[in-house]
Structure 1
Amino acid sequence: MKIAILGAECSGKSTLSQALLAPLATFYPEVTVIDEYLRTWCNAHGRPPQVDEQAHVAHTQAQRIQQATAACVVADTTPLITAVYSDVLFNDPTLYPEAIAFQRTLDVTLVMGLDVAWVADGIQRDGLAIRQRIDARLREVLLAHKVPFASVYGQSSQRTEAALTAITHASTKHHAPQDSGQPWVWVCDTCSDAACEHRLFSRLTQSSMGR
C-alpha cells in the first residue's frame, strides 16, 4: 500500500504523515514515511530550487518512494507537487507528464485542506497567496487527469481520523472488481472548489458524530 499526501506549503502534510504511523501499524507489519526531499535540498543549499533544479527534486522524491520496501508506505509529497510548483512559480509545465504517470502508480492520494494556520518556515515557504494558488492548481490538475483523490480537513486527531476513513474507503474501491463502478472520490469529483469540499466534509463529519 502506497499512500501519497499532497498539499501546498504548510497544509499539514508532514504532521499527518507522522500521525498515520501508529494507526496504520495495526493493519500492516511495517509502515514507513518517505519525508519530503525538498526540505533536505533546501537545507543543504540554503535556498529553494530554481527552475532547472526542479526535475532533480522530483526524480529523487519518486526514487525514494519507489525504493521503499515496507508493506505500507506514506509519502510526504510526490513529484506532482514539484510539477505544480514549477508550473505556478516558473510557468514550466514540463514536469507534469512524468509526475501524473507516477501518481497513478500509487494506491491512495490525499490532498490536504487549507484549514490549518499558515506558519512561516524560512526559505521553504512563499506565503499565503502562493499556498492558495498551489492548492487550486493541484486540484485542477488531479481532476483534469482524472486521478482519484481524497480531500482531508480537520484539526489534530480529527484530520487523522478523516484521513484513515478516506484510506479505508479508497483501498476498498481499489481492490474492488474492475466493473464495480467509477474510481473512488471522497468528497468532490466535479470541481476544484476547496470551500465546497470543506462544506461537504463538515456535513459528513457532523453526521458521523451524530450516530
Structure 2
Amino acid sequence: MSGRSLVLIGLGILLLLILLGYLLVVGPLLGRLSDRAEERDAKEAQVAQLQAQVQDLERVRDNSGELGQRILELNKRVPSEPEIPTFVVQLQQIAGAAGVTQVRIEPGTPGAPPQGGPYSVVPITMTFEGTYEGLRDFLLRCNDLVRLVTINSVAYEPIIVDAGEEDLATGVEPILNVEIEAEIYFQPEGDGGGAAPISPEATTGATETTTVTEETTVAQ
C-alpha cells in the first residue's frame, strides 16, 4: 500500500473520530448549553417582571397617602342621605351667581347605578333661561359644588322673540332655554350595594322660591 493511500486512510479515520466526537460529546454539550441559555433567559424575564411589580407596589405605596386623601374627599361629596333640599339650595345659589333665571329643578326616583356599586343615584332634571356665558358659568360652578354632580347631557335652544318686539341691540347674546340632565349620589350607611328607599318628603322638602334675579321652582 502506498504512502498516499495510508495518508488518505489516516485522514478518513481522523474525520470519523471527529464526527463521532461531535455526535457523542460536542453535540449533547451544545444542546445542554442551549437549554441553559433558554433557562437563563426565562429567569431574566421573570426577574424583570418581578422588578416591574416591585416598582408598581412602590409607586402605590408612595401614592397611598394622596389616594387616601382623594378617597376621603370623594366620600365627603357623597353623603349618607339624599339631602335633596340642601342640594336644591346649592343650585339656587349657583344659578343666581351665574345670572340664569326661571330655574326649575326636578328630582327623579333614586335607583342603583347601572354598573353596580355601594351607592344610590338620584337623577336630576334642571331647566333655566340664560345666555351661553351664563350656561357655561353654571356648569363650572356645578363642578365646584360640595356635592358630587355628574352632568349627563346639556340641551339648549335660543328663545324666539315675537315679531312685534323690538330686536335686541347688535352683539347682545341671545337668551337660551336650557335643559340639563344630571345625577347626584348618596351612600346609605351599612348599605350592601343596592339602592336605598327614599321618602317622598326627602324629594319635596324645598318650596318655590322667588327673588328679584331669579325664579326657582322645585317640581313636586
TM-score bucket (shorter structure)? under 0.3
Structure (1/2) with the larger helix percentage: 1
Task: State the TM-score, normalizing by the size of structure 1.
Answer: 0.23
Structure (1/2) with the larger strand percentage: 2
